[in-house]
Structure 1
Amino acid sequence: MYSFIASWASLCSLLIFVSSVNAAVPDKQGILAQLRKNGACCTALDYFLPDKVHFNILTDAAYANSQHSFWAAQPQSLTPTCIVIPTSTQDVSTAIAILSIANQASIRGCQFAIRGAGHTPNKGANNIDGGVTIDMQSMDQVVVSDDRKTVSIGPGNRWRNIYPKLDELNLVMVGGRASQVGTGGLVTGGGISYFSGRYGFVCDNVKSFEVVLANSSIITASNTKNSDIFRALKGGSNNFGVVTRIDTALYPQEKFWGGTIAQPITNKELLWPFLSTLTASANFDPYAAIIINFAWLAGVPSIVNNVIYTDSDATWPPPSLQPLDSMPKISTTIRKDALTSFTDELAATLVITTGRLNIFSTLTFINDVEATPEFLAAVFDIVDATAKELLTVVGLIFTCSFQPIPRTIYAKSAGTGGNVLGLERFDKDFINFLFSLSWQLPIDNARVEAALKTAEAAIVDLAKRSGLYSEYVYLNYAAQWQEPVKSYGAQNVQFMRGVSKKYDPNGLFQKAVPGGFKLGI
């Protein structure tokens, strides 16, 4: 205990010195300037977390590896003064304690970012210029409970580290669909899974979170303990603390059907009624999951469907997917396999975009089996025109995707303590729409973003005129200019603000963590 108190006394002395040196020693402005230039917070972090703080120098491989491990070029382009790589919850607690004190003292250069796998492409969401990035990738534990009903995972995991371990036990968790995507961001953003039809959103299968709060304390949040922040973390992203462990439900699962079906573009008129019918809750098959992807290369569109059917006892094709399977095909990889195989397959299609400039933008449409097919055909025309408009963007890979979110999926959250996504206020079936663009040169950034915003506005206008518009914005796909938190509804926003004020009264995660989608406090 004495050593702990002494350490904190040293920390406080160091930070007080840094913040007061200008007044106490006015003739030594250079000392303060140098401390601030080199990062006062990084100096303190390095003192209390030896060998876990890395600086932007040529000899620090850990710094370089962290920077290069982001999926998109936008976060890679930012340069934190230092990167903290914790290996335990206590490391995170120590880091937050230092950063909290420093930000209360208004010491410059002490804003910070929190990253897991770093798949979010939005600049500043998971990295920072001139501050501190907390890289959680080393916190990648995967521990299955003795009764095989729960798995405890670290927030720095990628799904490729989790699923093979579960496959060996014939178990599955409700998680991500591409193996290189991370756990922490996906879970706290809601999370859509191949198993959502059966079990709901990824966040709704969490049993508890371990969280480091702004005051550096470590708490467990669940339905029975700190239940308010537990609910807020299910969709509330990085607004409340640093999640250091996620305990989530496991389910028995044998090998199942899945793969990709590539189709000629002439199939698109057949796909719209198929998607609308599949999405309707009245006949939704909970074992079926699909992502319908349109990709433009050199201005020419093609169709690739990611298809999953998780009933291990079924034969292929099941009735709900038979209309898709009967359409003309270019190729198919449909087979019976374990989850890892399908998440690796989807990840393989994303490899070519790694390290490039990438952007997401998303919308939500109401599904109406009478009106939706014609509406989706018109949406495709807007997207097709936009893809052709950007034909000269160097290295452009232009895709859009459609996937069902019927009421039967989001209604499951009520039985698990609820979430803050705000979908409980609706009674409609939805279709999620995603723009995903990748290109090579920063000179094209403004042009790509302008075209995407124009297309987005045109689709929103069309949806409103068609009576199929929904304000809901799925956070994990949201562009930097979108407002997913606001789309959760005023009641949920007010609830999250209350949770923030209770657990973070000084607003550390609102003011000192500028990246991500904030609560507007």
Structure 2
Amino acid sequence: MVRVSNLTVGFLLTLSATLSAALQANVTEELPSIDLDGASAFGLPSDDITDLVAEAEENLGIKSPRFKRRGILRPRLNRGCGSKTTACQGLYNYLHRYKDPKKVAAVFAWEGTSNYNDWNDGSFWSATTYLKPDCVYRPTTSEDISVAIQITVLAKGKFNVVGGGHSAIKGWANADGGVLLSLANFDKVNVNKGGYVEVGAGCRWRDVYSKLDTVGLMCAGGRMAGVGVPGLTLGGGISYLTNEYGFVADNVKNFEIVLGNGAITNANINQNPALFKALKGGSSNFGVVTRIDLYTVASSGVYAGQLYFPQSDFSKLQRAMFNYHSTGATQDPQSHMIAAFVYVGAYQMHLGAFTAYRSVAKADPGPALKELLAVNPGVTSSGTLQVRKYGTMAQELGGSDMAGLRQDMRDLTILVDSTIYNEFWLVFNDRLVKPFSNVPGFQATLAFHPITPKAVQAGKNRGGNSLGLDNITKPILVVNLTTQWASPADDKRIRAALEDIHANYILHAKNRKLYHEYIYLNYARQSDNPLASYGTAAAKALQCASQKYDPNGVFQKQVPGGFKVNFSSTRC
């Protein structure tokens, strides 16, 4: 017979109490309180969230649930379709308990059910991003997202968020296993009489422009209609209006966001200003943005269109590019030029694909674009240049943006120089086009995007952003290399060639004293660190914002994709 002394009993009771307290502390730590400016809300009280996770664990046959359930166990609601992670099961239970059970299938899909493939693969631009989450959830309110985050955090699961899905990087907006939150139902666009437009985070720019065009307004936004609103904006965003109004992020009036503890709040110049600035270039590190309010400006029309030049015009085009990038863009902030050299494999053809844009409602290129239009009068007369509604330019340019192929995007930034265009093009042609011109689906683009000091100043005038460009004194160029092809069998050798070309560009720019450290996040490759490229001060501010608004690092640890801030390495 084993005898237990009173001292031992006391010790065991103390240990039990300690473990119970530790468990409760663990729950509290996972859903921390965050010091916010202004009001915030939650989708459900924390006790209800804990109850849903406990029920999910019991549904799934977990023998030692971490949480005690308050209510009566509902029968297993999942009928065995696909993987049954605790987070997905908890969401499924939430929808049956708090929503209309008959409508669950309209917003939630287990792997293997009817909507799963359409909502999963169909959400993404590039075939390189297709993965297999355990479930896809298309919430309809910010409160739903709050609940989803709280359940997933307590279940120690992982999740990812897709808005427009216009990334080429595997895992950046999707995950193998876990929950995929699709923002497709956040699709409302509301024009506010206060000089801004409220845009749901599931919108693409076509949705925004089609609404604004009907009321004579425009806003800084994507230059291709099919690109998603949240990703472009949170990465900074270059637009047709950048010379005059700064980056797309600079034109945000307010973000509505759901944080890692489930709190629904706003970030703007007055409310949570550190979070507001961090979101302007800091990407998906701080929460799930559900609505973006963008300033609008009046527009009676713009002069814009596409011009397609033969290879024989390339030397003239490069002179026109240099003059525009070095002086024209600064002298005429109402203008914008996309200068791209494209190889189309289907036609075995090089061409210069140039977008000319000016925010004037008359056929006037101004001095900044005049040289481009004079390169080849035949091309100019046969192009699509015309006075038009603002949004139709993005619709036209986006019409050639093919979804479903293999895609790779990458970039670097350089200073303006008259000869580097051709130097880069020669490498592009010799090391990418010639070896892969016959690969099925092959197309490659080398494009140059100017950022002027005037554009940066326009952003500073609206409170600044996180991009770290405040001190530039001369125009810089984002050089973007985009490649597409059809078969996964060609992935390895095409990507190896792209790495070689990218390294060559960087080395060449450095040797010529033309390299700039900035990496434009929306075109960056997976191995880059665009947040660090913003500079030490900007990177620290992002890390401190992450520590304050996501103290448990939910968006660093439980969201597998995206460029991370490495928030734990800085003392704030």
TM value normalised by structure 2: 0.83
Pair 1:422 & 2:476 matched: no
CA distance in 2, matches of 1:211, 1:5: 19
1:485 is paired with a residue whose SS is helix
**8 Å contact kept, 1:14–1:44:** yes
**8 Å contact kept, 2:160–2:179:** yes
- For 2:373, the equivalent position in structure 1 comes to 325
CA distance in 2, matches of 1:327, 1:123: 40
**8 Å contact kept, 1:15–1:102:** no
- For 1:374, the equivalent position in structure 2 comes to 419
Q: CA deviation at 1:274?
A: 1.8
- For 1:396, the equivalent position in structure 2 comes to 442
Q: CA deviation at 1:404?
A: 1.4
In 2 relative to 1, CA 63–216 (structure 1 residues): closer, same or farther, beyond 3 Å?
farther
CA distance in 2, matches of 1:9, 1:485: 35
**8 Å contact kept, 2:82–2:134:** no
In 2 relative to 1, CA 44–35 (structure 1 residues): closer, same or farther, beyond 3 Å?
farther
- Whichever residue aligns with residue 64 of structure 1, its letter is D
| Residue-by-residue CA offset, 1:37-70 (whole Å, 9 max, x unaligned) | 4211100011113413211224x22552442231
Larger Rg: 1 or 2?
2
CA distance in 1, matches of 2:213, 2:463: 28
- For 1:485, the equivalent position in structure 2 comes to 531
**8 Å contact kept, 2:50–2:154:** no
CA distance in 2, matches of 1:174, 1:205: 7
**8 Å contact kept, 2:269–2:463:** yes
- For 1:445, the equivalent position in structure 2 comes to 491
- For 2:52, the equivalent position in structure 1 comes to 11
Q: CA deviation at 1:220?
A: 0.7
- For 2:172, the equivalent position in structure 1 comes to 125
CA distance in 2, matches of 1:44, 1:334: 54
Q: CA deviation at 1:276?
A: 2.1
- Whichever residue aligns with residue 125 of structure 2, its letter is W
Q: CA deviation at 1:36?
A: 10
Number of positions where the alignment pairs a residue of Structure 1 with one of Structure 2: 497
- For 2:276, the equivalent position in structure 1 comes to 230
Matching of residues 284-363 of structure 1 within 5 Å: 284-298=331-345, 300-312=349-361, 314-328=362-376, 329-330=378-379, 331-350=382-401, 353-363=402-412
In 2 relative to 1, CA 164–10 (structure 1 residues): closer, same or farther, beyond 3 Å?
same
| Residue-by-residue CA offset, 1:389-419 (whole Å, 9 max, x unaligned) | 2224332111111121111112222111111
Q: CA deviation at 1:458?
A: 0.6
Q: CA deviation at 1:421?
A: 0.7
- For 1:107, the equivalent position in structure 2 comes to none
- In structure 2, stretches of 5+ residues that fail to align are 1-41, 67-75, 97-103, 568-572
- In structure 1, stretches of 5+ residues that fail to align are 26-30, 104-109
- For 1:106, the equivalent position in structure 2 comes to none
Correspondence for 1:89 among 142, 149, 157: 142
**8 Å contact kept, 1:234–1:420:** yes
1:447 is paired with a residue whose SS is helix
Q: CA deviation at 1:127?
A: 1.0
**8 Å contact kept, 2:242–2:248:** yes
**8 Å contact kept, 1:177–1:193:** yes
CA distance in 2, matches of 1:44, 1:465: 56
CA distance in 1, matches of 2:242, 2:392: 18
CA distance in 1, matches of 2:65, 2:116: 37
**8 Å contact kept, 1:63–1:83:** no
Q: CA deviation at 1:119?
A: 0.9
2:304 is paired with a residue whose SS is strand
In 2 relative to 1, CA 397–9 (structure 1 residues): closer, same or farther, beyond 3 Å?
closer
CA distance in 2, matches of 1:171, 1:297: 35
Correspondence for 1:71 among 125, 140, 153: 125
In 2 relative to 1, CA 332–36 (structure 1 residues): closer, same or farther, beyond 3 Å?
closer
1:157 is paired with a residue whose SS is coil
Pair 1:164 & 2:210 matched: yes
**8 Å contact kept, 2:299–2:390:** no
- Whichever residue aligns with residue 171 of structure 2, its letter is G
CA distance in 2, matches of 1:130, 1:260: 42
**8 Å contact kept, 1:263–1:304:** yes
**8 Å contact kept, 2:82–2:112:** no
Correspondence for 2:235 among 189, 192, 197: 189
TM value normalised by structure 1: 0.91
**8 Å contact kept, 2:450–2:478:** yes
Pair 1:134 & 2:187 matched: no
2:129 is paired with a residue whose SS is helix
